[in-house]
Amino acid sequence: MDSILVKGNGALSGTIPIAGAKNACLTLMPATLLSDEPLTLTNAPRLSDIATMTQLLQSLGAEVASLQDGLVLALSSHAIDNRTADYDIVRKMRASILVLGPMLSRDGHAVVSLPGGCAIGARPVDLHLKALEAMGADLDLRDGYVHARAPGGRLKGAVVDFPFVSVGATENALLAATLARGTTVLKNAAREPEIVDLAQCLRKMGAQIEGEGTSTITIQGVDRLHGATHPVVTDRIELGTYMLVPAICGGEVECLGGRLDLVGAFAEKLDAAGVSVTQTERGLKVSRRNGRVKAVDVVTEPFPGFPTDLQAQMMALLCTADGTSVLEERIFENRFMHAPELTRMGAKIEVHGGHATVTGVERLKGARVMATDLRASVSLILAGLAAEGETIVSRVYHLDRGYERVEQKLRACGAQIERIKG
Ligand code: EPZ
């Protein structure tokens, strides 16, 4: 297993290109299952999760070609010959459940392994299943698989009222509703930019959708969808992560492709902490106003609130802030595993249930630490960039799931960072 060695090297400045969004691409790729015509995705990120989704779709008989060094994905599902998404692939990545809705809606039946939980929580899929049942699906859960059938071979439109916001369940229901007979209304739908991106792509394929980005999405089912070409939206979590580099180290970084509307709540929090964020014609320019950021409190919420996927990274910053911050994690039940690792670097953090109280220190100290999940891994890298001495982050396969070419992007800003093959 590879590790990453980081040496604190003072202020970092330069430009960082932001890739297409992992969490948009992972829901756009299954849309190919809705049509027998080609779907081309541009601005695709080069990540191991994308390779896993590629493997899953190919196991179903879809064709997925990775072109232009992975920036373009050419997908086609005219020859689907297997409707079982196998546990061996699904267990590697939760987003695999997103093939259920489209496969069921287009073919009338699907067998998909239930995803396991993961490090940050149990992460059930009950809302996905309830939405599909509301649309007429017969679901039989046995042997760890969902055996799904649409009576008469087609789902029917329904009103789906989510008890709480779920990104994945909204995406599965949205994908399925495009080919259902009649009208579907999704209430308390997720509003994330990745949902908006999916709706825009589906509309290019001929879907009739209104309201994406609000809490109510209305879909008028159609008989078939055609092919399309669609650019994957910028990754707001990668963007927010790299915006923290000058905040924690000093210097000035311009995140190319960054858009303020993708990171509104996060940028407001940075501003309150003393970090200036400016929209330029190329992206977002970020620098801190004084030598040390101020402590701020954070509560994670569904979009447009502060994103849970930036909580670990923000904690790294607040470990060096002037004052005491309280971070409340409201989305996942176990998403503070980076805290004990940051403590090894001299951070002062007390975790009680869903709250973490961070008392800032002048400077962290480099140490050997272990990545436990995707966003925790990059939080440790950020801490290492600002720490005194060397930090070695082990188990960086977590990192490679969601961040492409981290070493290159950070070295371009003056970071001393290298991968140690393990
Ligand atoms: C998506 O996960 C993202 N993943 C996550 O990003 C992100 O943290 C999350 O949304 C919240 O924004 C992808 O898009 C691939 P949810 P998802 O359904 O869809 C519970 C990353 O780091 N829940 O909004 O799984 C669930 O356990 C990843 O890139 C149910 O109880 O998130 C969680 O506590 C991590 N039943 C909460 O709801 C369900 O049926 C929100 O989950 C579904 C979810």
Alpha-helical segments (H) within 68-162? 87-90, 100-107, 126-134
The three-class DSSP label of residue 243 is helix
- pLDDT of 116 > 80? The answer is no
- Verify whether ligand 1 is closer than 6 Å to residue 144 (CB atom): no
- Verify whether ligand 1 is closer than 6 Å to residue 123 (CB atom): yes
Report the DSSP beta bridge partners of residue 350.
357
- Verify whether ligand 1 is closer than 6 Å to residue 117 (CB atom): no
Over residues 24-69, the pLDDT tens digits come to: 999 999 999 999 999 999 999 999 999 999 999 999 999 999 999 9
Over residues 363-382, the pLDDT tens digits come to: 999 999 999 999 999 999 99
Q: What is the pTM of this model?
A: 0.97
Mean pLDDT of 376-390: 97
User: Mean pLDDT score of the chain, rounded to an integer?
Assistant: 96
pLDDT at 123: 77
Rounded distance from Cα 290 to ligand 1 centre (Å): 36
Atom number of ligand 1 nearest to Cα 122:
27
CA distance 61 to 64: 9
CA distance 158 to 193: 24
Q: For residue 376, what are the CA distances in angstroms to 99, 339, 406?
A: 27, 9, 14
Rounded distance from Cα 288 to ligand 1 centre (Å): 31
Backbone phi, then psi, for 282, in 5-degree steps?
-100, -20
Rounded distance from Cα 125 to ligand 1 centre (Å): 9
Q: At what angle do helices 236-249 and 311-318 cross, to 10 degrees?
A: 0
CB of 410 closer than 8 Å to CB of 248: no
Contacts of 142 by beta carbon, 8 Å cutoff, 6+ apart: none
Alpha-helical segments (H) within 234-291? 236-249, 264-273
pLDDT at 120: 78
- Verify whether ligand 1 is closer than 6 Å to residue 389 (CB atom): no
Contacts of 163 by beta carbon, 8 Å cutoff, 6+ apart: 127, 188
Pairing of strands 298-299, 283-288: unpaired
25 is catalytic: no
CA distance 331 to 329: 6
Mutate to test the pocket of ligand 1, among 22, 23, 263 (most ligand atoms within 8 A of CB): 23
